């Protein structure tokens, strides 16, 4: 089974598979703004169409980073790192991120 279509226990899919609908919404919302901009004399409407695109882009980047950190957290627990509790679930906390930077 390839990594992109892997499902974790409990049926949870990877973030990469769930982000496709978000990208579709970003394109749809930006297209609606562009459509209204064609029929309008308002110059700010085309500029406003970039706001949903940038918002979805930022959310996508955040969730992909969080997924990467959770994979590193899993690796730390799997390797038996004593500084990480087995059921620690805050992979995006500054404490865990500083722990990773200490090891590099």
Q: Tens digit of pLDDT for each residue in 34-81?
A: 787 777 777 787 777 788 788 888 888 888 888 888 888 888 888 888
pLDDT at 97 over 50: yes
Q: What angle do CA 94, 98, 74 make, to 5 degrees?
A: 85
User: Which range is least confidently modeled, 11-20, 64-73, 87-96?
Assistant: 11-20
CA-wise closest residue to 46 among 58, 59, 32, 56 = 32
* pLDDT for the residue 104: 61
Residue 14 per-residue DSSP state: P
Predicted structure pTM score: 0.62
* pLDDT for the residue 60: 83
């Amino acid at each position: 089974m390839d990594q992109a279509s892997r499902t974790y226990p409990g049926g949870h899919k990877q973030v990469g598979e769930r982000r496709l609908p978000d990208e579709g919404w970003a394109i749809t919302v930006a297209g609606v703004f562009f459509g209204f901009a064609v029929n309008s004399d308002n110059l700010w409407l085309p500029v406003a169409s970039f706001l949903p695109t940038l918002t979805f882009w930022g959310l996508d980047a955040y969730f992909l980073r969080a997924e990467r950190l959770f994979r590193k957290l899993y690796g730390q627990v799997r390797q038996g790192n004593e500084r990480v509790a087995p059921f620690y679930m805050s992979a995006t906390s500054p404490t865990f991120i500083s722990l990773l930077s200490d090891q590099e």
